[in-house]
Amino acid sequence: MHLAFIQTRSQAGLLAPEVIVEIHLGSGLPGFQVVGFSESATRQIRGRVRSAILSSHLKWPDFNITVNLAPTELPKEGPRYDLPIALGLLVASQQLPQRCIVGREFFGELGLDGGIHAFRGALAAALAATRAGHACGMAHQGASEIATLTEGRLITAPDLLSLCAQLKKADPEYAPRGTPLNPDHFPYPDLSQLKGQPLLCKALEVAATGGHHLLMTGPPGVGKTLAASVLPGLLPPLPDKTVQELLLMQDIVGLTERGGPPFRAPHHSSSVASLMGGTARALPGEISMAHGGVLFLDELTEFPHAVLNQLRQPLETGLIRVNRAQHQHQYPAQFQLVAAMNPCPCGLAGDPDRRCRCTPDRIRRYSQGISGPLTDRIDLHITLQRPPPELLLSKSTGGQSSSGDVRNRVTLMRQRQRERQDCLNRDLSGDNLLKACQLKNDTERWLIRAVAKLNLSARSTHRRLKVARTLADMSGDRSVAIPHLKTALTFREAPSTDDAGAV
């Protein structure tokens, strides 16, 4: 037989569509071509595969070799097809029996010495193959983790020759599974570390409970970064689906963070592609790596407008579309946004001890740097002051709950919100919001007076109602009452927003 068909997988976002590697050994002058690949890409593949076959003491078939990857319209790049091409050549030239490849898929890069190397995206490929009921032939490296996550049958080997030996066995050994992930692993600073900041601690618990995005305004060194990194530790353990999506994306970008909701804090000088996704290989960006966890944007005003404007789509849909050449991939990006900014360019505005020298005009331009549509999606805006020094040094936690206690409460509250309205309080809007709040007549009258007195816009009123709904949930009340609204109104908004922080 001078033909062979080997199953493998391509990569499109988190999916791994099936690809068949077709090998034909033709008569005529010896040659090697890969249909649809450029001459230089073909030369590279031939170089690696030929060296690997020869280094494994196998024979390079001296035929006119044609390789076709079907279907042709799928995005196909990278050396991940080395292994299936090599095995296809061995089957077509009858150095490996046909039965060795039946019901099995193969993926992996080959080294010149015949070694099989792991590659990014192997997890998605192994998962898809396992779902299709196939065993996988792949690199040894990282296999036990992939076996744990996919529960697949993985035949692994360090090099081509030992893989062939494994494949010839009637019952090959499958890679053993490692220890499963620990879903209760929360490597984050504890809430009790935020000393002398009761307002901040309360805001963090509210944010965690209702899923509200949070904007902190305050001078440098007030603990904004610490506060943001506490938040993922207050969130419930991630659902299995989110964990799987996260692991697939981490595998694609080559990250090995495991367990707990993620915390990502990209710098404002990062490129738009690295933040949003879509480098040359259409990889997921920072916002996707924060999926299920917290995305922290420190010094919000320093981020390029393009980035802040593009955040609107994932904030609304929990998804981001990433374009590459003719293909569009979609990655999940359901994160909780925590943003921080200084009160003015020098950071001293509102400081009782030191004087800010920024002109009012400069302060106005500074805070206008963040787009309205973005701040509209942030329910909680808080302004922070430096805590008194004696509190910072105090050994007592000031009655502050630990992160673990808050997390247990948050888990319960989020469950109740979903039972009541099928979403978190953050996602309530219009009639659903009013229905969920169940305002009594006197509460409604009080709110109307407060809105008029504080000159709040409709959007700002809705944001505070959502926060009040969360506060009512936290105190176990069915309807939102005046005390909840009062507290919601004390979360003072930054002057950048539509109602100029009037409380």
Given the rule CB under 5 A, which of 17-25, 237-245, 292-300, 358-366 is the region that contacts Zn ion?
A: 358-366
Residues 339 and 413: their CA atoms lie apart, in Å, by 24
Between the alpha carbon of residue 209 and those of residues 410, 431, 474, 476, 478, the distances in Å are: 5, 21, 8, 12, 16
- Find the part of the chain contacting Zn ion (CB under 5 A) among 95-103, 145-153, 357-365, 416-424: 357-365
With residues binned 3-state (H G I as helix, E B as strand, rest as coil), the percentages for the chain, rounded to 5, are 45, 15, 40
Q: How far is the CB of 370 from Zn ion (least distance, A)?
A: 17
Q: Which of 135, 158, 332, 132 is nearest to 250 (CA)?
A: 332
Least distance (Å) from Zn ion to the CB of residue 336?
Answer: 29
Q: CA-to-CA distance for 482 and 488, rounded, in angstroms?
A: 10
d(CA 363, CA 357): 10
Least distance (Å) between residue 291 CB and Zn ion: 36
Q: Where are the alpha helices (DSSP H) in 2-150?
A: 39-55, 82-92, 122-131, 143-150
Kindly tell me which of 158 and 350 has the beta carbon lying closer to Zn ion. Answer: 350
CA 46, 48, 53, 59 dihedral sign is: positive
Q: Which parts of 108-137 interact with Zn ion (CB under 5 A)? A: none
Output the six-digit token pair for 100.
């060795």
Cβ neighbourhood burial of 20 (10 Å; 0-12, 13-18, 19+): middle
Dist. CA 363–CA 246, nearest whole Å? 39
Nearer to Zn ion, 261 or 347 (CB): 347
Residue 119 or 366 with smaller CB distance to Zn ion: 366
Kindly tell me which of 13 and 219 has the beta carbon lying closer to Zn ion.
219
Q: Which of residues 431-460 bind Zn ion (CB under 5 A)?
A: none
Interaction pattern, residues 219-248, with Zn ion; x per rule: CB under 5 A: ------------------------------
Distance, CA of 309 to CA of 314 (rounded, Å): 10
Identity of the residue, 45 or 349, whose beta carbon is nearer to Zn ion in the bound complex: 349
Q: How large is the C-alpha radius of gyration of the chain?
A: 28
Residue 6 backbone phi and psi in degrees, to 5:
-120, 135
For residue 372, give both structure tokens.
């309205």
Binding mask 327-356 for Zn ion (x = CB under 5 A): -----------------x-x-xx------x
Residues 2-61 that bind Zn ion (CB under 5 A): none
* CB contact burial 297-306 (16+ within 10 A = b; e otherwise): bbebbebeee
Minimal distance, residue 324 CB to Zn ion, in Å? 43
Among 485, 500, 497, which residue's Cα sits nearest to residue 437? 485
Nearer to Zn ion, 311 or 346 (CB): 346
Helix, strand, or coil (residue 264): strand
**CB of residue 460 to Zn ion, shortest distance in Å:** 25
Considering the complex, state which of residue 320 and residue 363 has its C-beta at the smaller distance from Zn ion. 363
- CB nearer to Zn ion: give 273 or 348: 348
Least distance (Å) between residue 150 CB and Zn ion = 54
Whichever of 334 and 342 has its CB closer to Zn ion, that residue is 342
Rounded distance, CA 113 to CA 95, Å? 19
Of the candidates 167, 208, 341, 358, which one interacts with Zn ion according to CB under 5 A?
A: 358
* Closest CB 361 distance from Zn ion, rounded Å: 12
Q: How far is the CB of 194 from Zn ion (least distance, A)?
A: 25
Residue 167 CB coordination number (10 Å): 21
**Residue count at the site for Zn ion (CB under 5 A)?**
6
- Under DSSP, the state recorded for 49 is H
- The token pair at 440 is 């009594």
CB of 301 to Zn ion, least distance (A): 13
Mark out the alpha helices in 93-197 (DSSP H runs).
Answer: 122-131, 143-150, 160-168
Specify the residue, 130 or 367, whose C-beta has the smaller distance to Zn ion: 367
Smaller CB separation from Zn ion, 352 or 399: 352
Q: How far is the CB of 349 from Zn ion (least distance, A)?
A: 5
Rounded to whole angstroms, how far apart are CA atoms 84 and 162?
A: 15
Tell me which residues in 382-401 interact with Zn ion (CB under 5 A): none
Beta bridge partners of 110: 116
**Cβ–Cβ under 8 Å, residues 215 and 382:** yes
Cβ nearer to Zn ion, comparing 21 with 346: 346
Query: Smallest gap, in angstroms, from Cβ of residue 353 to Zn ion?
Result: 14
Minimum Å distance from CB 200 to Zn ion? 21
Contact residues toward Zn ion (CB under 5 A) are 344, 346, 348-349, 356, 358
